[in-house]
Amino acid sequence: MRNNVYFIWIVLLLLGISDKVDAREVTSFNSGWEFKKGPFSKDAMQSAQKWNSDWQEVTIPHTWNADDMQKKVSAFYEGVGYYRKKCTFPENMEGKRIFLRFEGVGACAEVYVNGYLVGTHKGAYSAFVCEIGSQVKFGKENEIIVKADNASRPDVIPTNHILFGVYGGIYRPVWLVVTEPCNIVVNDCASSGVYITQKNVSKKSAEVTVKVKVDNATLVPAPMVLENAVYDGNGRLVKKHSQSFELTPQGVQNYSSYFKLNNPHLWQGREDPYLYKVVSRLVQNGRVIDEVVQPLGLRNYEVVAGRGFFLNGKKYPMYGVTRHQDWWGLGSALSNKEHDFDLAQIMDIGATTVRFAHYQQSEYLYSRCDTLGLVIWAEIPFVNRVTGQEWDNAHQQMRELVRQSFNHPSIYVWGIHNEVYHPHGYTAALTQSIHDLCKLEDPDRYTVSVNGYGHVDHPVNQNADIQGMNRYFGWYEKKIQDIKPWIEKMEKEYPWQRFMLTEYGADANIGHQTEILGDALNWTSPFYPETFQTKTHEYQWSIIAQHPFIVASYLWNMFDFAVPTSKRGSMAARNMKGMMTFDRKIKKDSYFWYKANWSKEPVLYLTQRRNALREKKETSVTVYSNIGTPRVYLNGKELSGVSKGYTDVHYIFNKVVLNDGKNVLKAVVSYQGKEYEDEIEWNYNGECNREADFFEHKTEHGSW
Q: Which of 240, 241, 226, 229 is nearest to 284 (CA)?
A: 226
294-309 in b/e burial notation, b at 16+ Cβ within 10 A? Answer: bbbbbbbbebebbebb
Spatial distance between the Cα atoms of 581 and 292, rounded to a whole number of angstroms: 39
Spatial CB neighbours of 679, under 8 Å, sequence gap ≥ 6 = 606, 664, 665, 666, 667
Give the 3-state secondary structure of residue 565.
strand
- Asked if 591 and 349 count as a contact pair (C-beta separation under 8 A), the reply is yes
CA dist 441 and 407 (Å) reads 12
β-pairing, 499-503 vs 466-470, is parallel
Sign of CA dihedral 588, 589, 592, 593: negative
700, 694, 634: which is closest to 668 by C-alpha? 634
Three-state DSSP state, 242: strand
Residues labelled catalytic: 419
Q: Which long-range contacts (CB under 8 A, 24 or more apart) does 457-465 make?
A: 459/421, 459/424, 459/425, 459/428, 460/417, 460/420, 460/421, 460/424, 460/427, 460/428, 460/431, 463/416, 463/428, 463/431, 463/432, 463/435, 464/416, 464/431, 464/435, 465/303, 465/413, 465/435, 465/498
Map 237-257 to HEC letters.
Answer: EEEEEEEEEEECCCCCEEEEE
Around 155, how many Cα atoms within 13 Å sit in the side-chain half-sphere?
4
Q: Which residues sit opposite 664 in a β-bridge?
A: 681
Q: Where are the alpha helices (DSSP H) in 2-81?
A: 2-5, 42-46, 48-51, 68-71
Amino acid at 268: Q
